[in-house]
């Protein structure tokens, strides 16, 4: 039941598409003004002191620009950047191989850093603080620890679950940036830039409609823009407001930005569980989706919009959520008439 418009696991084609649209400097990066200002000061201070910037942790929901900001940090410092991810580092030896290959001043980006193995995390503590690691050689009574000096580097970690990071690792980051959902005005700027790069002429009112249905997330805004472009190409339609609405209706994105999974979760809480409360695992089984996807992708937006709430006993549908369900049910009835 996973929806490609909001699924955080992007396909290679989608990654290539998003990579072409990604800004390469802080000046071109749209939104997150507080984080941009903080990063600008941090990077400028490092340049003035001719040193590697402090380690940086980027925290926030998927699709808000953590990977883009990591790339920008590498560009702004003029240093090479190496990409890795927490799931790919499951042994201390994996991390040792990556760290020992770094050149002085290099930026190491680890996406989903909270998913690293515990042994790798413990090795990272010493690497971040003293730029060295201890490698065990031999076994049993003859085992010995050999220190290996590392080149000074900047670690940029990205996480959608900052609470899952061990405190010793979280405290070793010199700066933590908390990325927030985007306002509609900022998403319009993102879409305007993307449509210009795609050489796609869309009216301002249509861009505003797209921005309003993008769940406060630039990645989703760009994917919706790509779907609209496909619809306009196939149907030879007009890139005005009505054309965009027709495309979004086809892809099941309603006026509030809720897609199929969002509405399934909301309807399950409202109808199957009489408004809640209902536990996350029970809710996931009811809609046929992974609990992790609901918690990290669907739930933050529904909570932010005030459609569902979290309680000690589980998730509940708010009065606004119940009204949305009733309106959605009425629209479905009218469509079926």
**Which residues belong to the active site?**
66-67, 111, 160, 219
Nearest to 62 by CA among 3, 103, 6, 123: 6
Those residues with Cβ within 8 angstroms of residue 321's Cβ, 6 or more apart along the chain or in another chain: 266, 269, 270, 302, 306, 307, 308
Is 328 exposed, middle or buried (CB count within 10 Å of its CB: 0-12, 13-18, 19+)? middle
Give start and end residues of each alpha helix (H) in 158-297: 167-170, 184-197, 204-212, 218-235, 241-250, 260-267, 280-287, 291-293
Nearest to 190 by CA among 174, 168, 210: 210
Q: How far is it, in rounded angstroms, from Cα 275 to Cα 279?
A: 12
Q: How far is it, in rounded angstroms, from Cα 178 to Cα 16?
A: 26
Give, in order, the Cα–Cα distances in Å from 113 to each of 132, 211, 313: 19, 30, 30
Could you list the beta-strand ranges (E) of 72-220: 81-85, 107-111, 132-137, 144-149, 154-159, 175-178
């Amino acid at each position: 039941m996973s929806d490609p418009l909001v699924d955080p696991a992007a396909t290679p084609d989608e990654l290539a598409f998003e990579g072409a649209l990604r800004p390469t400097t802080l000046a071109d990066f749209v939104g997150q003004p507080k984080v941009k200002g903080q990063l600008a000061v941090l990077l400028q201070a490092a340049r003035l002191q001719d040193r590697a910037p402090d380690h940086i942790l980027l925290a926030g929901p998927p699709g808000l620009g953590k990977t883009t900001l990591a790339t920008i940090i590498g560009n702004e410092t003029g240093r090479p950047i190496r990409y890795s991810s927490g799931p790919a580092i499951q042994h201390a030896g994996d991390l040792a191989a990556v760290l020992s290959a770094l050149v002085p001043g290099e930026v190491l980006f680890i996406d989903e850093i909270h998913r690293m193995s515990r042994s790798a995390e413990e090795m990272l503590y010493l690497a971040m603080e003293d730029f060295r690691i201890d490698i065990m050689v031999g076994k049993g009574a003859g085992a010995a620890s050999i220190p290996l000096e590392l080149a000074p580097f900047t670690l940029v970690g990205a996480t959608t679950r900052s609470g899952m990071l061990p405190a010793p690792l979280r405290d070793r980051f010199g700066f933590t940036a908390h990325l927030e959902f985007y306002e509609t005005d900022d998403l319009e700027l993102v879409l305007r830039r993307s449509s210009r790069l795609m050489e796609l002429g869309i009216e301002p009112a249509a861009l505003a409609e797209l921005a309003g249905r993008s769940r406060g997330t630039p990645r989703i805004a760009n994917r919706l823009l790509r779907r609209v472009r496909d619809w306009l190409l196939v149907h030879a339609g007009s890139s005005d407001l009505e054309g965009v609405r027709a495309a979004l209706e086809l892809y099941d994105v309603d006026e509030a930005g809720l897609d199929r999974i969002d509405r399934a979760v909301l309807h399950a809480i409202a109808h199957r569980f009489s408004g809640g409360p209902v536990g996350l695992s029970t809710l996931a089984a009811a809609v046929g989706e992974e609990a992790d996807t609901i918690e990290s992708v669907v739930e933050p937006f529904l909570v932010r919009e005030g459609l569902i709430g979290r309680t000690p006993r589980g998730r509940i549908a708010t009065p606004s959520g119940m009204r949305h369900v009733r309106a959605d049910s009425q629209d479905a009835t009218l469509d079926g008439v």
